[in-house]
Amino acid sequence: MTKERKIDMVILGLLSHEKLSGYDIKKRIDDGIRFFWKGSFGSIYPALSHLEKEGFIRKSKEDSNESGRERIAYEITEAGRSNLQAWLSDSKTVNDLKYEVLLKIFFGGAVENHVSLATIEAFEKEIEQELKMLQFFKQNLSKVLHERDHVFFYLTVSFGVETYEGYLRWCQEAKTMLSEQNCE
Amino acid sequence: MTKERKIDMVILGLLSHEKLSGYDIKKRIDDGIRFFWKGSFGSIYPALSHLEKEGFIRKSKEDSNESGRERIAYEITEAGRSNLQAWLSDSKTVNDLKYEVLLKIFFGGAVENHVSLATIEAFEKEIEQELKMLQFFKQNLSKVLHERDHVFFYLTVSFGVETYEGYLRWCQEAKTMLSEQNCE
DNA sequence: AAAGACATGTAAAACGTTACATGATTGC
DNA sequence: GCAATCATGTAACGTTTTACATGTCTTT
């Protein structure tokens, strides 16, 4: 269909549930999907402009300026929904992962082991924090799975929990191997 | 130190082990670290040029044109090694993950469940393939852990195995949830 | 003879982040 | 009154991918 910039699909996906402003979209991304996707204002606002030009979204009138505060909410059009569905119907996915932490471990031969151990420990701490939040979300969502939309949110959170727990197991293994090696 | 482009660090890291040409570097990336980092010729060759200008690498003379086939091998300099070590010594890591598959699941509410199921199954098949290879690598590497450098390679492969196994467990859960929901 | 691997490099395009610029409203 | 949050948007910058351009060598 279109050039299929991914941020476009994120916006279309979010708008398929509710009317949102650019600012709202940024928050939805940060709060809900930040562990597997990111987006900045610098990409969101231009995307909204051209999605509107292409007819996939439109400005919603209703919630206009009661207050003097500027706010432009968008809603998805039928064409936009078709576009979203076409993208969803292609089962091929590109998953682009950049783990700087693995890069640093991979090249750990160039430094002493305690340097790599510090890198692992910093990673571990970060993951422990995030995992707590994901587990909290997961527990809350597991109570409301009768609502169809919640199932999809639950599954992405569950993915996060599964991989983050794997990260932590790996951290244990890596710490053990690198500290044992020190003693030999 | 420098602007610290990540591809620079990848190149420096690879050259810290052995002399390599741009073409070799591309292969090392594709063969060894592709599941957590990528790099194209279009980024490698320009990076080699400026790394040389900055004095972090130099052209190695020895293996010059015995054959008519052009080949420029680079080796790391002391300055380059310091630069690499400085980067490794910063334990903060930026891990940038983009899972299009999760995006498609997250927005699955806009399509019928069989569409999302197909996406999961395609992902699962891909992961199963890659996991086999990772497990093969891991087994071979586990026999040569007495060599220090192998430990770091082993750990990155082990990370891959851990996360890929997690992906497959998640695929099972997701398939079950989405197909049960169909029957209600 | 052809295909595929080896080998280097450039140019255009796409994409995204960061920082900047601006201003209103809300809560303490 | 001040800080935080709400809110939109642009411009500069940097990075990376893709495609192109070119040519050699090895294996079948």
Q: Helix, strand, coil % (nearest 5) of chain B?
A: 65, 10, 25
User: What domains are there in chain A, each with its CATH number?
Assistant: 6-89 (1.10.10.10), 100-176 (no CATH)
For residue A155, the chain B residue with the least C-alpha distance is B174
CB contact under 8 A, A158 and B170: yes
**To 5 degrees, how large is the angle CA A59–CA A148–CA A152?**
80
State pLDDT tens for residues A113-124.
999 999 999 999
Percent of chain A with pLDDT over 90: 89
**pTM, whole model, 2 decimals?**
0.93
Structure tokens at A15: 């708008």
A59/A77 Cα distance (integer angstroms): 10
pLDDT in tens, A95-104: 999 999 999 9
The list of chain B residues with pLDDT below 70 reads 1-3, 62-68, 182-184
All residues of chain B having their beta carbon less than 8 Å from the beta carbon of residue A118 are 91
Name residue A178's amino acid: L
Give A42 CA → D10 C1' in Å: 9
Using CA atoms, how far apart are residues A30 and B122, in angstroms rounded to an integer? 28
Q: Give pLDDT tens digits for A67-78.
A: 667 899 999 999
Helices (H) and strands (E) in chain B, counts: 7, 4
